[in-house]
A = this chain, B = another copy of it.
């Protein structure tokens, strides 16, 4: 009876442990040091076992990045409910900076360690968390532009990067 449920619980439990171990490694040694064998070591499993839970190494990295974006999106949530575009932008920017201050490791994880994924966000189709977080910043700027309050040639993504740089 309950065995199927227990199995499912164990399965996702191990997935979680894999991701936790992977996150640890990335935070400590950077994305480049994220190795299948190193993760396996950390959770005391054989390397091959990870492939029962993830398609490949990239799938793990992607999941890690998505988790980070989800966190970022959560941080944006309150700001995004503001109606006025200008205030919304300011609040979002503030949330952005705040997030960077409060979770520096996650911040690094998302934006500095795996550029492949960061740029993938800008091209990605669909509604992954990265895409949504990106639009959280983009959207109010475009609203401002359309309402004529921003110069027509003004650029939209720069705020984020200026803050961040």
Chain A interfacial positions (CB closer than 8 Å to B): 86, 89-90, 93, 111-112, 115-116, 118-119, 122-123, 138, 141, 144, 149-151, 153-162, 165
Contact = CB atoms under 8 A, between A and B. Distances in A.
Contact of A157 (B89, B138, B153, B155): B155
Contacts of A138: 158
Contacts of A153: 86, 89-90, 93, 159
A115 B114 CA distance: 8
Copies of this polypeptide in the complex: 2
Contact of A155 (B111, B122, B123, B141): B141
Given A86-B153, A155-B161, A158-B160, 12 more contacts: A115-B115, A115-B116, A122-B165, A141-B155, A150-B151, A154-B154, A154-B155, A155-B156, A155-B157, A157-B158, A157-B161, A161-B161
A151 B144 contact: yes
Nearest to A112: B119
A149 B138 CA distance: 21
Contacts of A116: 115-116
